[in-house]
Structure formats: C-alpha cells, structure tokens
Amino acid sequence: MGMAARMKTSRRHLDRLLDPENTSVTLATLRRAASAVGRNLRVEIE
C-alpha cells in the first residue's frame, strides 16, 4: 500500500505535501504523513 493510500488521500495531494516550495502544509497533515510511514512528528523550537 502506498503512502497516499495510508494517509487516505490522493497522490496529487501527497505531491503537494512533499513539494518543498509549498509553505501551507499544516502540522496535522505532517503528523498524518509521519504516521503513514510509521514515524512520529516532533517539532522543536529553541
């Protein structure tokens, strides 16, 4: 099963998520993406 299917989204939406020029990605979406590949999202501000 591909990452888009695990995130329950389209490949087109996933392509936008992975686009380094896209600055409108939310933390919730990043958390779902991390979860889809078996990882956790950690945000750190120093």
Q: What is the pLDDT of residues 24-40, one digit of tens each?
A: 888 998 898 899 889 99
Would residue 46 count as lying in a domain?
Answer: no
Residue 9 covered by a domain: yes
Q: How confident is the model at residue 21 (pLDDT cuts 50, 70, 90)?
A: very high
Residue 41 inside a domain? The answer is no
Residue 25's domain spans which residues?
Answer: 3-36
For the segment 16-20, the average pLDDT, to the nearest whole number, is 86
Q: State the Cα–Cα distance between residues 12 and 27, nearest whole angstrom.
A: 19
Asked whether residue 1 carries a pLDDT value surpassing 80, the answer given is no
